Amino acid sequence: MFRNVAELVELAEKKGQKISQVMIEAEIEVSGRTREAIMEEMYRNLDVMEKAVRRGLTEDIRSHSGLTGGDAKKLQQYMQEKPFLSGPTLLNAVSMAIAVNEVNAAMGTIVATPTAGACGIVPGTLFAISDKLQPTREQMVDYLFTAGAIGFCIANNAFISGAAGGCQAEVGSATAMAAAAIVEMAGGTPEESSQAVAIALKNMLGLVCDPVAGLVEVPCVKRNAMGAAIATVAADMAMAGIRSVIPTDEVIEAMYRIGCTMPTTLKETAQGGLAATQTGRMIEAKVFGVPLK
Amino acid sequence: MKYKSVFDIIGPVMVGPSSSHTAGAARIGRVARKLFGKQPTKAEITFYGSFAKTYKGHGSDVATVAGILDFDTDDLRLKDSLQIAKDLGMEIEIRTSELLTEHPNTSRICLSEGDATVEVVGVSIGGGKIEIIEINGFDFQLSFHAPTLMVLHRDRFGMIAAVAKVLTAHQINVGLMEVSRLVKGADALMAIEVDSPLSAEVLEEIRQIPHIKEVSLLSFS
């Protein structure tokens, strides 16, 4: 079993395999389950993701608090009516990431990737890139194994939850995972996937977890949106041959150290950052029907 | 390595909004329920750290009670757990504590019916993954990702060997084992993660070993 991204890339290169295949074989080895059982479980996850994307883009989603919902549709509408500036794949990824995260905020069914708070980025980029590249269903499942392999390295060497390491650990990890998977689906090398991870994660370093009223809504939905955008651009940069000066595993280590020194007010306690703004406090008071502190 | 499977990262399938505060909270509740072995009439839940600060926003209370009702993380009834528990006559008490815990997302769950009680402390470490760090005062570090045999016994020599002998006879492989005791010579609790499910006969055979008080198997798949 690989312990970090460098070992993962080395294994893939040595065997002449894609990252997804290395992950599948490691899973077979460690879990003792059959390849068929493992593939079947990931196909099921893919189906749940697809439903969540579709729900977010077509239904009128509204969270219980009323703070989020409807933005995925808004962006799709805009793309149809206006000469938008960024590319269609990028905006599709952004709107689909929003869609899944809006479904999550409304207590709908999603797949945690790696967490529920960051559940929009991996499926959002997957279905948008798939619209462009037209992969097979199996390649779409491979996308999830590649994303999983990177998340596995980050989870075991740093953290993936906002409470433990801030939003950089949550949306940051998801963004890095998606970046690597996009590269593989687009035909890039394992090394280029690793570079995409470094480039993506660097741009998430220091990001705090400051949910307004403690709800996974503000700013989570918009951070998922931008995570999808960063993942897509990082993948393009890596495939252009741009390299991260700081090696990938050292970027992950930096993320870990930053998370350890981050004050608890900024780690999913709703006590700092956006949660502590005047408007954030007003929303909190309104949602829970209590007077302002 | 804390995370062992790709499905710890891509998964679980769950009802939102938070993997640590909803899915993880539900899983801790479900471990408590499985350890108790039946529907309790009373559940006392204490939240610490980030759980204490944000449980209302994340629905950690709703999720924990759903777990106590034996619902899985993707069960659509999760949202309505408080009402379902009320209809079933389950008394629920939710408290928060300012006490500093090692991990930010910690909950303590005490389930009871009459004199029967079970008390579990769990932490939600991220992505829906949990660790149970205390069961009825015994210290542990268990994830319950594999079927886990729990054996309560008197703290005597040869107990581990006696249980292992039964498992050996039935060709059951052990993945992980922890033994914990409060006081030397009093009660001790064994937790044994096994690779294959155990039949009722195997459990009964272990139950027949002298000085063994309780045997149960926890399995979530």
pTM > 0.90: yes
Alpha-carbon distance of B48 to B95, in angstroms, equals 9
User: Dihedral (C-alpha) A15, A16, A22, A28: value to the nearest 10 degrees?
Assistant: -60
In a domain, B152, yes or no: yes
pLDDT for A287? 87
Q: B211 with B138, same domain?
A: no
Task: List Cα–Cα distances, A247 to A196, A198, A253, in angstroms.
Answer: 11, 7, 10
Q: B73 with B153, same domain?
A: no
In a domain, B100, yes or no: yes
A2 touching B, CB under 8 A? no
Average pLDDT, chain A: 96
CB neighbours of residue B168 within 10 Å: 12
Q: B42 with B63, same domain?
A: yes
Q: B110 with B25, same domain?
A: yes
- Could you tell me which residues of chain B have a Cβ less than 8 Å from any Cβ in chain A? 1-23, 49-50, 53-59, 74, 76, 78-79, 103-105, 124-128, 195
Q: B66 with B20, same domain?
A: yes
B45 near B52, Cβ under 8 Å?
no
Q: B30 with B120, same domain?
A: yes
What 3-state DSSP class applies to A258? helix
Domain termination residue (choose one: B126, B142, B158): B142
Supply the angle between the helices A137-157 and A19-31 in degrees, to the nearest 10: 70
Alpha-carbon distance of A104 to A212, in angstroms, equals 16
In a domain, B12, yes or no: yes
CB neighbours of residue A136 within 10 Å: 9
Using a CB-CB cut-off of 8 Å, the residues of chain B touching A269 are 49-50, 53-54, 104
Q: What is the least distance, in Å, from the CA of A87 to any CA of chain B?
A: 28
Residue spans of alpha helices (H) in chain B? 24-36, 49-58, 60-68, 81-87, 159-169, 200-207
Q: B121 with B21, same domain?
A: yes
Using a CB-CB cut-off of 8 Å, the residues of chain B touching A283 are none
The enclosing H or E element of A56 equals helix A35-58
Query: Which residues have C-beta within 8 Å of that of residue B86, sequence separation ≥ 6?
Result: B92
In a domain, B208, yes or no: yes
Q: B137 with B163, same domain?
A: no
Q: B109 with B178, same domain?
A: no
DSSP conformation class of B153: E
Using a CB-CB cut-off of 8 Å, the residues of chain A touching B195 are 32
Average pLDDT score over residue span A53-75: 96
Which chain B residue has its CA at the smallest distance from A41's CA? B7
Per the model's pLDDT, the better-predicted residue between A270 and A238 turns out to be A238
Whether residue A62 is predicted with pLDDT greater than 60 in this model: the reply is yes
Average pLDDT score over residue span A232-239: 98
* Pairing status of strand B116-126 against strand B129-135: antiparallel
The enclosing H or E element of A150 equals helix A137-157
Query: How many domains does one find in chain B?
Result: 2
CB pairs under 8 A between A and B: 179
- With an 8 Å Cβ cutoff, are B17 and A117 in contact? yes
Phi, psi torsion values for B190, nearest 5 degrees: -105, 140
The enclosing H or E element of B106 equals strand B105-113
Domain termination residue (choose one: B116, B142, B168): B142
> How much of chain B, in percent, has pLDDT values that exceed 90?
88
Q: Which residues pair with residue B150 across a beta bridge?
A: B191, B216
pLDDT for A13? 98
A163 touching B, CB under 8 A? yes
Whether residue B76 is predicted with pLDDT greater than 80 in this model: the reply is yes
pLDDT band at A293 (very low <50, low <70, confident <90, very high): low
Q: Where in the sequence is the domain holding B86, given as residue range(s)?
A: 6-142
State CA B179 to chain mean position distance.
16
The ipTM value here is 0.96
Alpha-carbon distance of B194 to B197, in angstroms, equals 7
In a domain, B207, yes or no: yes
Question: Which of these ranges, A140-149, A254-263, B124-133, has the smallest mean pLDDT?
Answer: B124-133
Whether residue B102 is predicted with pLDDT greater than 90 in this model: the reply is no
Domain termination residue (choose one: B88, B118, B142): B142
Which chain B residue has its CA at the smallest distance from A31's CA? B5
Q: B124 with B74, same domain?
A: yes
Q: B118 with B185, same domain?
A: no
Average pLDDT score over residue span A276-287: 94
CATH number of domain containing B59? 3.30.1330.90
pLDDT tens figures, A79-130: 999 999 999 999 999 999 999 999 999 999 999 999 999 999 999 999 999 9
Token couple for A219: 């700013």
Q: B131 with B153, same domain?
A: no
pLDDT tens figures, A140-197: 999 999 999 999 999 999 999 999 999 999 999 999 999 999 999 999 999 999 999 9
> How much of chain A, in percent, has pLDDT values that exceed 70?
99
Alpha-carbon distance of A140 to A182, in angstroms, equals 10
Using a CB-CB cut-off of 8 Å, the residues of chain A touching B4 are 30-31
CATH number of domain containing B156? 3.30.70.260
pLDDT tens figures, B30-65: 999 999 999 999 999 999 998 999 898 889 999 999
In a domain, B81, yes or no: yes
In a domain, B1, yes or no: no
Whether residue B221 is predicted with pLDDT greater than 90 in this model: the reply is no
Whether residue B163 is predicted with pLDDT greater than 90 in this model: the reply is yes
